[in-house]
Amino acid sequence: GIQVEQSPPDLILQEGANSTLRCNFSDSVNNLQWFHQNPWGQLINLFYIPSGTKQNGRLSATTVATERYSLLYISSSQTTDSGVYFCAVPLSYNTDKLIFGTGTRLQVFP
């Protein structure tokens, strides 16, 4: 099945810094979602981005489907951005079953 790898596994930032998180997947996809898991364990939808670029406030995401990767950009990071960031893709074209990546744990310090 499809493999989803994220990098870096851990990231420590000072408030105000920018960061780029990467999601690599091993096969073509028709869907990709980014999530933020906050310190209380809640999963928060960030982006649905099978291709192209989207922006939402300080966050933006770009998926280059032909090269099988997606990037999540966080600008001017805040302590509330701390948590784990996951990307997820469907196992295959004919299933809704999402396969989650390994996650990037982000810690933002004041």
98 is an interface residue for other proteins by CB under 8 A: yes
CA distance 85 to 66: 23
Listed residue (38, 44, 23, 57) closest to 108, CA to CA: 38
The span of 12-20, 56-64, 69-77, 96-104 binding other proteins (CB under 8 A) equals 96-104
Contact 7, 85 (CB under 8 A): no
CB of 46 to other proteins, least distance (A): 11
Q: Hey, which residues between 46 and 65 contact other proteins (CB under 8 A)?
A: 48
* Site residue total, other proteins (CB under 8 A): 23
Rule CB under 8 A: choose which of 30, 53, 79, 80 binds other proteins. Answer: 30
Q: Where are the alpha helices (DSSP H) in the chain?
A: none
Rule CB under 8 A: choose which of 96, 104, 107, 109 binds other proteins. Answer: 96
Place of tokens 């997947």: 25
Cα separations in angstroms, 75 against 14, 23, 28, 65, 69? 12, 18, 28, 23, 20
Rule CB under 8 A: choose which of 19, 70, 77, 90 binds other proteins. Answer: 90
Write out the residues near other proteins by the rule CB under 8 A.
30-31, 33, 35, 41-45, 48, 86, 88, 90-91, 95-103
